[in-house]
């Protein structure tokens, strides 16, 4: 049995969603991430928190998905924030000038 390269969990609380990603975000799995984030907006979610704690690796295709989703969210009067990225993912975001998507730890609130 082959394990999936990416697992996506979603937990909603009102108009807020916590999307937890586990595995690898690359060209093969980025469409799954895109679809999950677009579905949140389609469902009327206004705050999307993406937990990257268990993402092993994220490449430029994942970065593109997060940037597109952030723009779509802003257009729908919603927000998207990334939480707990690996050092590699944080570097990728910073190098692209997109580290504004990261939620600062001192302002972070838990979704319960």
Domains, the chain = 7-97 (3.30.750.24)
Q: Where are the alpha helices (DSSP H) in 1-112?
A: 30-42, 60-75, 87-95
Contact between 19 and 81 (Cβ < 8 Å):
no
The mean predicted confidence, pLDDT, of the chain is 89
108 pLDDT more than 70: no
pLDDT tens profile 51-81: 999 999 999 999 999 999 999 999 999 999 9
Per-residue pLDDT for 7 more than 90?
yes
């Amino acid at each position: 049995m082959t394990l999936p390269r990416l697992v996506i969990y979603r937990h909603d609380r009102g108009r807020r969603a916590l999307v937890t990603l586990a595995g690898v975000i690359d060209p093969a799995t980025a469409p799954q991430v895109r679809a999950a984030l677009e579905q949140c907006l389609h469902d009327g979610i206004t705050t999307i928190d993406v937990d990257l704690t268990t993402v092993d690796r994220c490449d430029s295709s994942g970065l593109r998905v997060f940037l597109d989703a952030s723009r779509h969210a802003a257009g729908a009067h919603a927000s998207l924030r990334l939480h707990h990225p690996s050092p590699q993912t944080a570097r990728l975001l910073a190098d692209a000038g997109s580290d504004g998507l990261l939620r600062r730890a001192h302002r972070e609130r838990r979704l319960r």
